[in-house]
């Protein structure tokens, strides 16, 4: 119904000259903030941290982190799987208080995620593993040092003496050297050994090939030009101790050559039996990509499994861990710790994984984006962003505890809806 033309105009809609007193509350200019701390605080998502990282890091180390194998299909599919999640919230629940505390392998973690093992980490930013382990210690979450990490087992233990430090092992052809690493990890207080089993040979990481990626980075004309607008990275890189590794002497060559020269393509499940006999702590197998192999890993003594395709960095078109998760959880939940990585870029992703049956998750690239964006403070910001997103997603779903998350809270788009969501045929019109 139209308002009659003769109807009076409400006072709020009458034109008038603005008064100074009315303008004063609107004229509040925020003082601009500059510097690394301000940049990190303005980052509200992991993607924001990635943008910062790309601006501050030379192409070769950034692409080593950001890239994947061949056409990078595995990585894109893993991230798309999380985008294809539909949450199913419960309403009218009291969610004033939420706990993100998560039990994993015999101890509590303050959050349902830990830091995954990453190689060559001080190449991304000079603080490297020291930033990651200390940030994890402060947040009370696990930190995993890689065999290919650029800080020793002992140095990480000293840097984060009160942290929950895990060690990731690549089994070498030289079993004596593997045994030496295992003994060092135990002596340094690591309670969990995570053996990675998806690197029989190096994946074809084409960004590294195109960038001429070497360890350490070579000062070619291309890298010098790249450094000209990223001087802080090069200053930090050149004024700190040269890259060295957690488990091997200094090496010069390509990443693929290093992997192919070290790792054993003859590994079998019997090697897990040997590891189980020599390692007395938690034994976790990382790189599980089928239900059959998940079963076998548990049968051979694994206390935990990581559903992972190595961040898409090994076999392209590999299984998507999130898609595999429900089948593994249906059979093995409660029999072994089920951990998931690959593709996680938000707290919502973490909540979705836990709801579908994961006991825990690991972040790799997300942590490295924060590291490259701002060193230790950038890693702190990564953990803060993911923790905040996790808690908020739980509240919006209507749950108070991690243990309250169930498959009823999520649906993978493209799947048939649950029976409870279907209309009653007798009442449908």
Catalytic (active-site) positions? 310
CA distance 256 to 209: 9
Q: How far is CA 64 from the centre of its chain?
A: 15
For the chain, the residue count is: 429
Phi-psi region at 386: left, alpha or beta (left = phi > 0; alpha = psi -120 to 50): alpha
Tokens of 213: 């990626």
| Rounded Cα gap, residues 98 and 396, in angstroms | 11
Pair 282, 188: CB distance under 8 Å: no
CA distance 346 to 127: 24
β-strands 304-307, 337-340 pairing: parallel
- Cβ(348)–Cβ(322) below 8 Å: no
């Amino acid at each position: 119904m139209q308002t009659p033309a003769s109807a009076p105009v409400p006072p709020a809609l009458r034109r008038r000259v603005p008064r100074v007193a009315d303008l004063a509350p609107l004229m509040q200019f925020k003082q601009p903030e500059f510097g690394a701390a301000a940049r990190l605080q303005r980052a509200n998502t992991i993607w924001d941290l990635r943008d910062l990282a790309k601006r501050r890091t030379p192409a070769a180390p950034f692409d080593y982190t950001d890239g994947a194998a061949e056409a990078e299909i595995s990585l894109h599919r893993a991230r798309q799987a999380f985008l294809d999640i539909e949450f199913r919230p419960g309403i009218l629940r009291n969610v004033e208080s939420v706990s993100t505390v998560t039990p994993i392998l015999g101890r509590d973690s303050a959050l349902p995620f830990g830091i995954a093992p990453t190689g060559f980490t001080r190449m991304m930013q000079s603080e490297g593993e020291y930033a990651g382990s200390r940030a994890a210690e402060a947040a009370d979450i696990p930190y995993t040092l890689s065999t290919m990490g650029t800080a020793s087992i002992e140095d990480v233990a000293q840097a984060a003496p009160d942290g929950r430090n895990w060690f990731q092992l690549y089994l070498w052809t030289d079993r004596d050297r593997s045994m030496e690493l295992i003994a060092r990890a135990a002596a340094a207080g690591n309670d969990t050994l995570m053996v990675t089993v998806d690197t029989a040979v190096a994946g074809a990481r084409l960004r590294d090939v195109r960038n001429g990626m070497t360890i350490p980075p070579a000062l070619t004309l291309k890298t010098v030009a790249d450094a000209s607008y990223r001087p802080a990275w090069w200053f930090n890189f050149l004024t700190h101790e040269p890259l060295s590794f957690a488990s091997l002497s200094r090496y010069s060559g390509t990443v693929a050559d290093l992997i192919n020269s070290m790792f054993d393509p003859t590994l079998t499940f019997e090697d897990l039996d040997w590891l189980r006999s020599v390692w007395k702590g938690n034994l976790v197998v990382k790189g599980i990509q089928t239900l059959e192999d998940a079963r076998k890993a548990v049968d051979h003594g694994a206390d935990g499994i990581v559903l992972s395709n190595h961040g898409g960095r090994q076999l392209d078109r590999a299984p998507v861990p999130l898609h595999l998760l429900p089948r593994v959880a249906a059979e093995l939940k409660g029999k072994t710790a089920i951990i998931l990585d690959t593709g996680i870029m938000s707290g919502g992703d973490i909540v979705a994984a836990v709801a579908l049956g994961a006991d825990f998750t690991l972040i790799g690239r997300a942590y490295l984006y924060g590291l490259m964006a701002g060193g230790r403070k950038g890693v702190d910001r990564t953990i803060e962003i993911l923790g905040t997103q996790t808690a908020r997603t739980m509240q919006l779903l209507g749950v108070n505890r991690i243990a309250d998350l169930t498959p009823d809270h999520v649906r993978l788009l493209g799947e048939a809806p649950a029976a409870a969501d279907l209309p009653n045929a007798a009442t449908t019109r």
